[in-house]
Structure 1
């Protein structure tokens, strides 16, 4: 597996990976109706491309296959982190998140925020994120639950990510 920066010709692949991941991996925690409004299959590719270009976006791939992606803005907000359904629990998300956090740390950003799905919440907790609040999103009249999670690092000689609740 290698990590690399986003290129505009990745956008469609990432949109497809997002759709497939939501509809398979997240199916254990959300209803069919919730999945349908979360990932409709109608992504605005121009808006996604612009967002990926404005953010630090990391792609994980192996043998020409995109395994996952994540993006973080310049305030430390982790917008998206998705791993292909066939590559779950293989360290892909961990590698992407570590790369994003490291790039942010180099830019002196030391506070991270994300909205984690029910499915992703344990992953983020294992990476030092704390639940700040449960969040309810309404899309097309359907309620989705996620969690606002945060992580703060402090200067530490061996580990910059000594976490503060």
Structure 2
């Protein structure tokens, strides 16, 4: 009989402890007391740390891509024909590539300045030889203005003639 009483009391103790344990750990569906870490008790947390995506550097454009993007606008502003456009495009690509290569070398500022001046002089000489004088001067003035939207002289002349 003593064994039956002990067995009965231990089973009763286990059955009565379920509500207490349930209150301690919640119902197993996230409605616990805020403690726990992803086992159905409390707030779910991922034990694997999330990799932070580093923002990708914008792809560096090649000299060819830069010139090809700007050429239609320059051609429109200067009123270039196909031959003049080809001369200007090839010259700009060539010397822009040289400038990019100088930036990659990361020379001291004095040498960079000297190199840029040499490149600019060579570019100017080649453009003078390949373009008519008036279009060369228009390109230089466009370059000095930083390729900003400048009203074309042709449009001004047309407006004056209509008046």
Structure-1-length-normalised TM-score: 0.28
Higher strand share: 1
Structure-2-length-normalised TM-score: 0.28
